[in-house]
Amino acid sequence: MKKILVPIDFSKHSENALKTAALLATKTKASIVALHMLDLQEVNYSESPNYQQEKAIFYLKLAEQQFKTFLEKDFLKDIKITPVVKHYKVFSEIDEIAKEVHADIIVMASHGASGLKEFFIGSNTEKVIRFSEVPVLVLKSELLDIHFNDVVFATDFSEASIPAFQKMLSTLKVFNAKKHILYVNLPNEDFKTTPEMDTLAHSFLMKAEGNIDRLINVNFVCARSIEKGILNFSNAIGADLIATATRGRKGLAHIFSGSISEDLSNHSSLPIMTYKI
């Protein structure tokens, strides 16, 4: 891990994300790219182009000064940090910036969303998860340390999720954590018998690693929803982190099918790491 991207909006939530990024940077000797997406007002066509440009420059300089003050933190003292201000606010662009700066991970904090707001708008973090090809670490509160000892990787054992599993192993290698591989069995048409689940796990591990050494850490639970199954299991074993693959559904596919990763980012008190399929 060499570069960590942290979107900043000057809130307490983004300060918590920055603190976690600093802990991660110290542990991995990585640098931090702090990104602020400047939310300029929509263009007023009654204004002259020169005035619009002057106003944009004014807000850009103001954001840069606020950024400089915000980054004067003791916990960043010995860390290489690069501030970046972009004068647009399209969340799909964060993934492009992550690729541009060669970020290995995006660290964000979220207060979540619920009810109608969650359905119609969603949190900003949700939107980043939906678009990002780079792994996203989502936090709900300030982490005092970053010792991930027990990680739950939730999977459907599909072949499409193998790259996400492999990326998870690579990303979290530095923590030397125990990985609990979890399959949630639902009481519907997708219900699996124990032999069927064993076969899925065996095939998945053989394709992913060429062996079944991790079979000892495979867990099957029954629940009425995947989200509840993941959260109940993670809390029961005292997990430090939940990792999961996401297909990044958009539009109608997202509305009707939803996203487990996004739901977890909204409702889990534990940190969430998402990997795009």
Spatial separation of the C-alpha atoms in residues 53 and 265, rounded to whole Å: 38
Say whether both 156 and 130 belong to one domain.
Answer: no
Calculate helix-pair angle for 260-267, 124-131, nearest 10 degrees. 150
Three-class SS state of 87? coil
Rg of the chain (C-alpha set): 20
Say whether both 192 and 270 belong to one domain.
Answer: yes
Say whether both 109 and 203 belong to one domain.
Answer: no
C-alpha of 12 from chain center? 18
pLDDT of the residue at 41: 53
Contact 252, 100 (CB under 8 A): no
pLDDT of the residue at 45: 46
Helices (H), 10-91: 12-28, 49-70
Three-class SS state of 36? strand
pLDDT of the residue at 62: 78
**Which residues are 29's β-sheet partners?**
none
Say whether both 28 and 134 belong to one domain.
Answer: yes
Say whether both 11 and 135 belong to one domain.
Answer: yes
The pair of three-digit structure tokens given for residue 229, joined into one six-digit string: 């199954």
The model carries a pTM of 0.84
**Number of domains within the chain:** 2
Say whether both 21 and 130 belong to one domain.
Answer: yes
pLDDT of the residue at 52: 61
Say whether both 109 and 58 belong to one domain.
Answer: yes
Say whether both 210 and 157 belong to one domain.
Answer: yes
Query: DSSP assignment of 206-256, as one string?
Result: HHHHSS-GGGGGEEEEE-SSHHHHHHHHHHHHT-SEEEEEE----HHHHHH
pLDDT of the residue at 110: 78
Widest Cα–Cα separation across the chain: 70
pLDDT profile of the chain (277 residues), mean per 10: 92 92 95 84 56 67 83 92 77 83 92 44 68 90 89 95 95 93 92 96 97 97 93 96 80 48 80 91
Spatial separation of the C-alpha atoms in residues 42 and 68, rounded to whole Å: 26
Say whether both 128 and 152 belong to one domain.
Answer: no
Say whether both 179 and 79 belong to one domain.
Answer: no
Taking the CA of residue 156 as centre, how many other CA atoms within 13 Å lie in the half-sphere pointing to its CB? 15
Spatial separation of the C-alpha atoms in residues 140 and 118, rounded to whole Å: 16
Final residue in a domain of this structure, among 105, 122, 142? 142
Say whether both 8 and 135 belong to one domain.
Answer: yes
Domain of residue 62, residue span: 1-142
CATH number of residue 162's parent domain: 3.40.50.620
Say whether both 42 and 152 belong to one domain.
Answer: no
